[in-house]
Amino acid sequence: MSKAVDSRTDRPESKIRFSTSWSYAPAPETAKATIAPRYDLFINGKFVTPAKGKYFATTNPANEKKLSEVGEASAEDVNKAVKAARSAYDKVWSKMPGKERGKYIYRIARILQERARELSIIESMDGGKPIRESRDVDIPLAAAHFFYYAGWADKLDYAFPGRTARPLGVAGQIIPWNFPLLMAAWKIAPALATGNTLVLKPAETTPLTAMKLAEVIRDADLPPGVVNIITGAGETGAALVNHPDIDKIAFTGSTEVGKAIQKALAPTRKHYSLELGGKAANIIFEDATIDQAVEGIINGIFFNQGHVCCAGSRLLVQESVYKTVIGKLQDRMETLVVGDPLDKNTDIGAINSKIQLEKINEYLEIGQKEGANLWQTSCDIPSSGYFCRPALFLNATQSHRITQEEIFGPVVAIQTFRTPAEAIEKANNTPYGLSGGVWTDKGSKIFKITTKIQAGVIWANTYNKFDPTSPFGGYKESGMGREGGLHGLAPYVELN
């Protein structure tokens, strides 16, 4: 832990010591998850062994224990999955009326709801996120996405009035580890509603809820080959991207891999949409309701351990309220409970992997070397597993790497501003353009600022609010294409 004196707050340390004078009795969720010792690849409606017979382990980041192992799909398996998807597209799915497709998607949504508790526990065990979040956000939203897009399946004529929407064919979908089931739902639901078939590859560190989703899809009696789920590393994703019989790639992940995919696809006929990284500015004006804004800062950066592409990882505070905001923020941060993801008291769970923890720790070093002041809370953290105390950097500057680069952890870089124009300039001075937040009492200021910030999503007096009806996506190096809402149908259709 590192404590720094900040001359502008005159506040060397937190006054409140929640870790010693307050404690909660543990409230663990019963970890009765039905995790099989091994999962095969889900191809053509069946679980099949990978062609090369190779498997890799998936572990619990909160205790470093192996949970299960999953198949490592080779190029041969990718080919098999794409063939199954093509056959299902040609013979069944593209010919099926939207009304019938919708019934299958509704069925998936209902089974997800029925199995919500089990899925939440597995999501928290495999990925490290607090059970409160997987239970109240990830799993309900995943089901909501299937419900929402099921409704569109027979209404595409209304989505695109005067046009005929045709499916693209076979979609290859690649997702990251931060919202495993939810990202799968964002990808699969609109693809199915518009009549495409697909092959999905989950991230290496969080494959389990995707394999559970494969069971759900099998139990929903989807025609074989409509949805194929194959596990593997980056090479499996690359094989999917480069497969000649893929019509569309939908990718969510880092900007670095997104750029490599864009290069690979540029000379081909394939359609693609990319949801990449971000470095959002959360802007606090002096006329904001400060207590509410502090909650928004907490939610903006510490939700899901900060493993959120749209996280409010840069905080811009108007100079006149800087002392008040930082003082209240530090007090509130001291109340955050870091620990067992399955404990319902936990606010911040485990960092998703050892590699990610190392990356975050490296940035904590980089920020200090650059001259920013690191402040972390004084809470206890478990002795095993991958954990990080919530952190903030005071006196960050625009040129610091901690201000420009995506850390993807519970770390916020703080800067000040005097005028709205300065706030806008600082907010836009980044290669990214995914999201942002504005806190002010004035409606006119909300419109003035939000229309000038280059970002796909901007929240006003709230943060990290998601809904299936609302489109999400980025500008600049944060990607292209939208997911969610009516806009989320467009990347999966050709309009005539």
| Cβ atoms 70, 211 nearer than 8 A | yes
Q: Which residue is nearest to ligand NDP (CB)?
A: 237
Q: How far is the CB of 379 from ligand NDP (least distance, A)?
A: 25
| Cβ atoms 113, 331 nearer than 8 A | no
Q: Does 200 sit near ligand NDP (CB under 6 A)? A: no
| Cβ atoms 451, 429 nearer than 8 A | no
Q: Which of residues 417-456 bind ligand NDP (CB under 6 A)?
A: 434
> Which among 39-47, 106-114, 272-280, 415-423 is the span making contact with ligand NDP, rule CB under 6 A?
272-280
CA atoms within 13 A on the CB side of 447: 2
Orientation angle between helical segments 255-265 and 234-242, nearest 10 degrees: 30
> Which among 1-9, 22-30, 47-55, 176-184 is the span making contact with ligand NDP, rule CB under 6 A?
176-184
Q: Does 353 sit near ligand NDP (CB under 6 A)? A: no
Nearer to ligand NDP (CB atom), residue 174 or residue 297: 174
Please say if 379 is a catalytic residue: no
Nearer to ligand NDP (CB atom), residue 127 or residue 339: 127
Q: How far is the CB of 262 from ligand NDP (least distance, A)?
A: 11
- A 10 A CB-CB count for 452 gives 14
Q: Which of 29, 204, 275, 406 is catalytic?
A: 275
Please provide the DSSP assignment of 351-381 as one string: -S-HHHHHHHHHHHHHHHHHTPEEEE-----
Q: Which of residues 209-268 bind ligand NDP (CB under 6 A)?
A: 233-234, 237-238, 241, 252-254, 257, 260-261
Nearer to ligand NDP (CB atom), residue 58 or residue 395: 58
CA atoms within 13 A on the CB side of 209: 34
Q: Which of residues 471-490 bind ligand NDP (CB under 6 A)?
A: 474, 479
Q: Does 406 sit near ligand NDP (CB under 6 A)? A: yes
The dihedral formed by the CA atoms of 113, 458, 314 and 412, expressed in degrees to the nearest 10: -20
Count residues near ligand NDP (CB under 6 A). 29
Backbone angles phi, psi at 392, to 5 degrees: -135, 150
Q: Which of residues 308-347 bind ligand NDP (CB under 6 A)?
A: 309
Three-state SS at 239: helix
Please say if 309 is a catalytic residue: yes
Q: Which of 29, 123, 204, 309 is catalytic?
A: 309
**Which residue, among 334, 326, 290, has the nearest Cα to 21 in the 3D structure?**
334
Q: How far is the CB of 84 from ligand NDP (least distance, A)?
A: 20
First-last CA distance in the chain: 60
| Cβ atoms 247, 169 nearer than 8 A | yes
Q: How far is the CB of 402 from ligand NDP (least distance, A)?
A: 15
Which residues are at the interface with ligand NDP (CB under 6 A)? 174-178, 201, 203-204, 233-234, 237-238, 241, 252-254, 257, 260-261, 275-278, 309, 406, 408, 434, 474, 479
Active site residues: 275, 309
